[in-house]
């Protein structure tokens, strides 16, 4: 609501900052906004009405973590994207299943930061690097069955300009990476490449 932001002395358009960095053995992903922040009183009231164990002495960070409880929502109206209490608990559960955790920091009137920490091992991908016109791409290694250098006599044209490659008596479609990755000026003769 631009008018509410203006009343609070902020720009009419909000800021959303996404950052990612390496911290120790983790990848840290942060999403920060400069909105209204979480409404502490509203969250506590909703938690109490749902029978959750809460008290007034909870820190702001502890109150913020309540939004990750299953079925929790402070939305006044249910829409197709909010108000049903099936969002943030799913986010937290999926992050925990990957061995990570999520934290939330919020200051009413200033904004909210959600921090997701995931083990670095999730960011490591075994892959084969390929170069297409000076650009490097990584192909997932589990998708590479073998690599070979094709011979001209093993390439066979098909109708429509497509080609197949004969490998040990089997015909495989020839997929040209410069087309797949839309790299201009990268047409290469297949026999000069590794497949």
Residue pLDDT, tens place only, 17-58: 999 998 888 899 999 999 988 989 999 999 999 889 898 899
Contact status, residue 31 vs residue 16, Cβ threshold 8 Å: yes
Within the chain, which residues score under 50 in pLDDT? none
Residue 152 tokens, joined: 């001209």
- 156-164 contacts, C-beta under 8 A, 24 or more apart: 163/190
Q: What is the pLDDT of residue 90?
A: 87
Residue 64 tokens, joined: 């913020």
Q: How far is CA 81 from CA 54, 85, 87, in A?
A: 27, 10, 9
DSSP assigned state of 150 = -
In the chain, what are the domains? 2-123 (3.30.565.10), 127-192 (2.40.50)
Q: What is the pLDDT of residue 82?
A: 55
**Rg over CA atoms, the chain:** 26
Q: pLDDT tens across 128-142, in order?
A: 888 887 788 888 888
d(CA 26, CA 47): 32
């Amino acid at each position: 609501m631009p008018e509410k932001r203006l009343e609070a002395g902020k720009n009419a358009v909000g800021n959303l900052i996404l950052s990612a960095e390496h911290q120790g053995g983790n990848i840290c992903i942060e999403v920060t906004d400069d909105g209204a922040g979480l409404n502490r009183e509203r969250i506590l009231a909703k938690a109490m009405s749902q029978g959750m164990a809460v008290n007034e002495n909870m820190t702001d960070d502890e109150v913020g973590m309540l939004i990750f409880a299953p079925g929790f929502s402070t939305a006044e109206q249910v829409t197709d994207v909010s108000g049903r209490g099936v969002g943030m608990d799913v986010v937290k559960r999926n992050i925990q299943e990957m061995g990570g955790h999520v934290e939330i920091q919020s200051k009413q009137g200033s904004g909210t930061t959600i921090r997701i920490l995931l083990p670095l091992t999730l960011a490591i991908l075994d892959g084969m690097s390929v170069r297409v016109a000076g650009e490097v791409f990584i192909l997932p290694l589990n998708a590479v069955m073998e690599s070979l250098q094709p011979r001209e006599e093993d390439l066979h044209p098909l109708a429509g300009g497509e080609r197949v490659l004969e490998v040990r008596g089997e015909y495989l479609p020839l997929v040209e990476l410069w087309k797949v990755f839309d790299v201009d000026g990268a047409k290469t003769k297949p026999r000069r490449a590794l497949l």
